[in-house]
Chain A
Amino acid sequence: MSVLAALGRVILGLFAAIGRVSIFGAQTLSHMLRPPFYPREFALALLNIGWLSLPVVGLTAIFTGGALALQIYAGGARFNAEAVVPQIVAIGMVRELGPVLVGLMIAARVTSSIAAEIATMKVTEQIDALVTLSTHPMKYLTAPRVLAATLVVPLLVAVGDVIGIFGGYAVATGTLGFNAAAYIQNTVDFLQLRDITSSLAKGAVFGCIAALMGCYFGMNTGRGAQGVGRATKGSVEAAAVLILAANFVLTGVFFSL
């Protein structure tokens, strides 16, 4: 009985949390659509989330693409299918690894910094100060960040896809003896439009999740330095899990229907 009760409590808590996050998301959307708008905040968010994430995205993608090429070559060699390296690297990067790795990197880099920043503002009464200065905190802090992340993370994913494929290409042509022109030709021929749109769509959803979780946990922080620490940790955990769950759902939507 007590096991059932505990399970019930956990499930109820989960639903309550989903409800709160959904309301938060809906409020964010409504603030995005209604003036006043804060273009400066939006531009800063674009810069922080997009431009400044490029190095980490590029490095993640190039090493992953390289490792992928090595594994596919080694695995393919067991049944004489080494030649599929370009095709599988392209599909693997564009459909799954590009969006997921960029999403997780954004969760690590952007979600944590948004959560810590907003939580600190909360505990030092800066959020209250915003309210007294006739500025809605969600409109000023949440809406620009979520909008910027939703728009710019797909671009980061595109960059990650390209660099990842390049990583595979560099390894394949450099050490595995592939012909450069043929490698590129195979990649281009094999990728379909659906692969690319799914990649970008995943990027948009992951970006939205990452920024939303940072803002949500930041706005709902506990008190003091400990509160800020908990909010930051919670935001990254939630963002990472939700990104992976959303990836599973989106893969299902795009490729099994």
Chain B
Amino acid sequence: MITLDDVHKSFGSNDVLRGVNLHVAKGTSMVIIGGSGTGKSVAIKSILGLVTPDSGTITVDGTDVTKADRDAFLARFGMLFQGGALFDSLPVWQNVSFRLLRGSLAKPKEEARAIAVEKLRRVGLTADVADRLPAELSGGMQKRVGLARAIAADPEIIFFDEPTTGLDPIMAGVINDLIREIVTEMGATTMTITHDMSSVRTIADHVAMLHAGKIRWTGPVAEMDSAGDPYVDQFIHGRAEGPIEAVR
């Protein structure tokens, strides 16, 4: 359903993406791994049009994303940003139900609030955080609010940029299960960026490893350990020695 074909992106002299090819099938969970700064966030932002690739094409359901009707296109997506990106002037519940309070999906206020509280509960937050401001929450709590916001309107396609970074192991487990559930029960298509190998194993149907601006390896999660690729091997075992340099 999502296809990246020879996508290139540079920032000045920094060639971040150098010909990325990737396919994500409908209703599956793709996990992207790769070293810090290799361009994972840039790759998913370019699908949403937040970053404009220098060359290459990105299609969703066969339609070029640059030619799709922007509003209809974006209405299908949810996104958790790596930094949370919560609106700091709005209380938590209005962040979560932002989409349900205005625009084409607008619902009555009480209903939007009830949905927000329910989504907050699913990411392990109690109803009393609903009226607080994002700045009053811990980093991990902000991350989970961002997650609740990404799933609030039940989108078809959801991107999670490091959903478990900054969470305790129990909460990370809760979030991993939630993402898995969203794929299997709601049939959503997801792309998740993570550095946490236990997340990879819980969430992924397929794994892709980004290295040096290209997809180094991609395949079903079950084949990851026997991929026989020294880069993948070094990465999933977290070894300092190997083909991937430690200083980048």
Assuming the contacts A125-B85, A126-B85, A126-B86, asked whether A132 and B103 have C-beta atoms less than 8 A apart, the reply is no
Query: Does A224 count as interface, using CB distance less than 8 angstroms?
Result: no
Q: Which of B45, B82, B98 contacts A133 (CB 8 A)?
A: B98
Question: When A131-B48, A133-B99 are in contact, do A126 and B75 touch as well, CB less than 8 Å?
Answer: no
Q: Is A131 a contact of B74 with CB atoms below 8 Å?
A: yes
A194→B104 CA distance, assembly (Å): 46
Q: Which of B50, B88, B102 contacts A131 (CB 8 A)?
A: B50
**One of B79, B85, B102 near A135 (C-beta < 8 A):** B102
Q: What are the residues of chain B within 8 A of A128 when measuring CB–CB?
A: 45, 50, 81, 85
A38, A125, A134: the one within 8 Å of B74 (CB): A134
Whether, in the assembled complex, B87 has its beta carbon less than 8 Å from a beta carbon of chain A, the answer is: yes
Q: Cβ of A134 and Cβ of B103 under 8 Å apart?
A: yes
Q: Which residues of B contact A131 (CB under 8 A)?
A: 48-50, 74
A36 within 8 A of partner (CB): yes
The interface residues of chain B, by DSSP majority, are classed as mixed
Q: Does A129 lie at the interface of the complex (its beta carbon under 8 Å from any beta carbon of B)?
A: yes
Would you list which residues of chain B between 89 and 147 have a CB under 8 Å from chain A? Answer: 98-99, 102-105
Does B78 sit within 8 A of A, measured CB to CB?
yes
CB distance from A161 to the nearest CB of B (A): 33
- Of the four ranges (under 10, 10 to 19, 20 to 34, 35 or more), the interface on chain B belongs to 20 to 34
Check: B71 CB closer than 8 A to any chain A CB.
yes
Would you call B71 and A124 a contact (CB within 8 A)? no
User: Within the complex, what minimum Cβ distance (angstroms) separates A67 from chain B?
Assistant: 39
Which residues of chain B from 194 to 238 have any CB-CB distance to chain A below 8 Å in the complex? none
Interface residues of A in 117-171 (CB under 8 A from B): 121, 124-126, 128-135
Contact residues in B for A130 (Cβ distance below 8 Å):
87
Bound-state CA distance A197–B152 (Å) is 50
User: Which residue of chain B has the shortest Cβ distance to A44 in the bound complex?
Assistant: B89
Contact B78 A134 (CB under 8 A): no
Is B37's beta carbon under 8 Å from chain A?
no
Q: In the bound complex, what is the Cα–Cα distance between A38 and B79 (angstroms)?
A: 23
The distance from the CB of B202 to the nearest CB of chain A, in whole angstroms, is 25
- Enumerate chain A residues within 8 angstroms of B81, measured Cβ to Cβ: 125, 128-129
CB of A125 within 8 A of CB of B83, answer yes
Evaluate whether A135 and B103 lie within 8 angstroms (CB atoms) in the complex, with A128-B45, A128-B50 already known.
Answer: yes
Q: Across the interface, which residues of A come within 8 angstroms of B105, CB to CB?
A: 134
Kindly state whether residue B160 has any CB partner on chain A within 8 Å: no
C-alpha spacing A54/B194, complex, angstroms: 50
Assembled-state Cα–Cα distance A5/B54 (Å): 31
A124→B45 CA distance, assembly (Å): 14
- What separation, in Å, do the CA atoms of A124 and B77 have in the docked complex? 20
Chain B residues lying within 8 Å of A129, measured Cβ to Cβ, are 79, 81, 85-87
Contact between chains at B48 and A132 (CB < 8 Å)? yes
Cβ–Cβ contact A36 & B74, under 8 A: no
- Would you call B50 and A124 a contact (CB within 8 A)? no
**Separation of A126 and B87 alpha carbons in the complex (Å):** 6
A125 to B79, CA, bound (A): 12
Min C-beta distance of A42 to chain B, whole Å: 13
Provide the bound-state CA to CA distance between A36 and B49, in Å. Answer: 21
A38: B residues at CB distance < 8 A: 102
Other-chain contact of B99, A121, A124, A126, A134 (Cβ < 8 Å)? A134
Contacts of B102 in A (CB 8 A): 36, 38, 135
CB-CB under 8 A from B98, the residues of chain A are: 133, 135
Whether the Cβ atoms of A132 and B78 lie closer than 8 Å is yes
CB distance from B206 to the nearest CB of A (A): 23
B84 → chain A, closest Cβ, in Å?
Answer: 8
Interface string of B58-87 (1 = CB under 8 A from A): 000000000000010011011101110111
Task: Determine whether the beta carbon of A132 is less than 8 Å from that of B79.
Answer: yes
Complex: A124 Cα to B134 Cα, angstroms: 13
What is the CB-to-nearest-CB distance from B63 to chain A, in angstroms, rounded to a whole number? 17
Known: A131-B48, A132-B78. 12 other contacts (CB 8 A): A36-B102, A38-B102, A125-B82, A125-B83, A126-B88, A128-B85, A129-B87, A131-B74, A133-B74, A133-B98, A133-B149, A135-B98
- Listed by A's residue number, 7 A-B pairs whose Cβ atoms lie within 8 Å are A36-B102, A125-B83, A126-B86, A126-B87, A133-B98, A134-B75, A135-B102
